[in-house]
Amino acid sequence: MEPRYLTVENLSHSTTESHRKMRPESLPVDEVIANKLRDPEHYRKNSPSDVNARESGGMRSLVAAVKHTMAQASTAAPYRAIIPAGFQEPTSVVPVDASRSVVACLSGDNLTTLFDAKGRLRRTPLAAPSTNEIKMDAVLIENSRVARAGAGIMIMPETHQPRPVGRDGSIVLERLPAYIRHVEAGAWSTVDVASLGEVPQSSLPINSTEIEWDNAIAKAIRFEIPRVDRRAYADQDQLCAHIVAGIALGLARTADAVLLDAVKASNPQAFSIAAIAAQDLQIEDIRAIAGTNAAGVAVGVDGVLRAAGVPAQLTPDMSGTIVGAWDRCVVAIRDDISINFLRIGTAGDMMVTAWASMLPLIAAPQNFWEVA
């Protein structure tokens, strides 16, 4: 089979770093590369000063940063007293923002507990915390169904870069363009050389799509931690580790849902072997993802789950069953995840809110089908 390439390119830098991680049993995948634009000092500036010490080659422990931020939010006052000149007591108070935030870096922060070296959550009750250190993006990729099927998970750095202009030190933000490119085999034609016939023009074998981050999908999660539950943890590090683990696992599911919704919105045609052949694909190039309806899904005598004869896996994030060449699509996720803590009520409950931005990118929508 002719090699195909799905690449992600940013035009502002010459060095590239792979953000593509695949399980050994997954199908052969195309290359997904992304430029590393941001200086590591950026993350230090967005973190509490006393938890900036990064372990393991300069990486920060996100659990420690979350613990520090939550402790600050627990004691933050929701108002500020006003003491006019000549007075010894406050005459009024003004409300202030009592929330505290930490910016999680998917490509730079470490998760040091609950996950093993491959990014899988340790679900054994009362198991000792893992001593392995693993980056947050690796956890996201390992627990994503679409990534296991072959899709790319790209951690997107900042798309705007400050540039000095003029002599007065003014700064403007320059937008850095980025693209995904899907390369197919070029169509060759037979030419009658004796008659000096013209060479028929075929379609361009390169499909370029610009990454329009303005069209990204905003995702958020909010939950409350009652004070009694917080006090039930003898070790606050364990509470913070559970919070971070829940957010990381939720990001993986959210990335799945965003890409699956985009594939469904492209109105895939009915699946057939003839359709695979027409797209110059082999059966080993495709995988199935089955939703809650489990349409066309059965377990073979060999114990392998298949949909319409194609190896499949299950997801709760859609109802139908999609078969496709998943290495033709990417989910771009903004590197910075904002996690906000706010003490609410008189009992000292804690509200946690996290924000993320994602963008589904499908280079070849014709390579996806729906199983009836």
Q: What integer pLDDT is reported at residue 45 of this predicted model? A: 41
**Which sign, positive or negative, has the C-alpha torsion 184, 190, 196, 197?**
negative
pLDDT at 217 exceeding the cut of 60: yes
Q: What integer pLDDT is reported at residue 349 of this predicted model? A: 92
Average pLDDT over residues 323-350: 92
Question: What is d(CA 145, CA 151) in angstroms, rounded to the nearest whole number?
Answer: 9
**Which sign, positive or negative, has the C-alpha torsion 316, 284, 30, 203?**
negative
Q: Are strands 305-307 and 109-111 parallel, antiparallel or unpaired?
A: unpaired
* 365: helix, strand or coil: helix
Tokens of 295: 């349409």
User: Amino acid letter at 157?
Assistant: P
Tokens of 45: 């500036």
* 227: helix, strand or coil: helix
Contacts with 101 (C-beta within 8 Å, 6 or more apart), sequence order: 69, 338, 339, 340, 341
Q: What integer pLDDT is reported at residue 372 of this predicted model? A: 86
Place of tokens 């290495």: 327
Q: 297 has which bridge partners?
A: 307
Tokens of 2: 């002719």
Do 30 and 184 form a contact (C-beta atoms < 8 A)? no
pLDDT level of residue 353 (50, 70, 90 thresholds): very high
Question: What is d(CA 207, CA 4) in angstroms, rounded to the nearest whole number?
Answer: 12
Q: What integer pLDDT is reported at residue 223 of this predicted model? A: 95
pLDDT at 23 exceeding the cut of 90: no
Q: What integer pLDDT is reported at residue 129 of this predicted model? A: 52
Q: What integer pLDDT is reported at residue 196 of this predicted model? A: 72
Q: What integer pLDDT is reported at residue 134 of this predicted model? A: 79
Do 287 and 267 form a contact (C-beta atoms < 8 A)? no
Question: What is d(CA 83, CA 91) in angstroms, rounded to the nearest whole number?
Answer: 6
Question: What is d(CA 367, CA 311) in angstroms, rounded to the nearest whole number?
Answer: 16
Question: What is d(CA 306, CA 297) in angstroms, rounded to the nearest whole number?
Answer: 6
pLDDT, one tens digit per residue, over 79-137 is 888 888 888 888 888 888 889 999 999 888 887 667 777 777 766 544 455 556 778 88
Question: What is d(CA 285, CA 26) in angstroms, rounded to the nearest whole number?
Answer: 10
Q: Which residue has the higher pLDDT, 219 or 95?
A: 219
Contacts with 62 (C-beta within 8 Å, 6 or more apart), sequence order: 104, 109, 110, 111, 136, 244
pLDDT at 58 exceeding the cut of 90: no
Q: Which residue has the higher pLDDT, 360 or 133?
A: 360
pLDDT level of residue 194 (50, 70, 90 thresholds): confident
Average pLDDT, the chain: 80
Q: Which residue has the higher pLDDT, 160 or 137?
A: 137
pLDDT at 285 exceeding the cut of 90: yes
Question: What is d(CA 142, CA 361) in angstroms, rounded to the nearest whole number?
Answer: 20
Tokens of 242: 């559970």
Q: Which residue has the higher pLDDT, 28 or 110?
A: 110
pLDDT at 22 exceeding the cut of 60: no
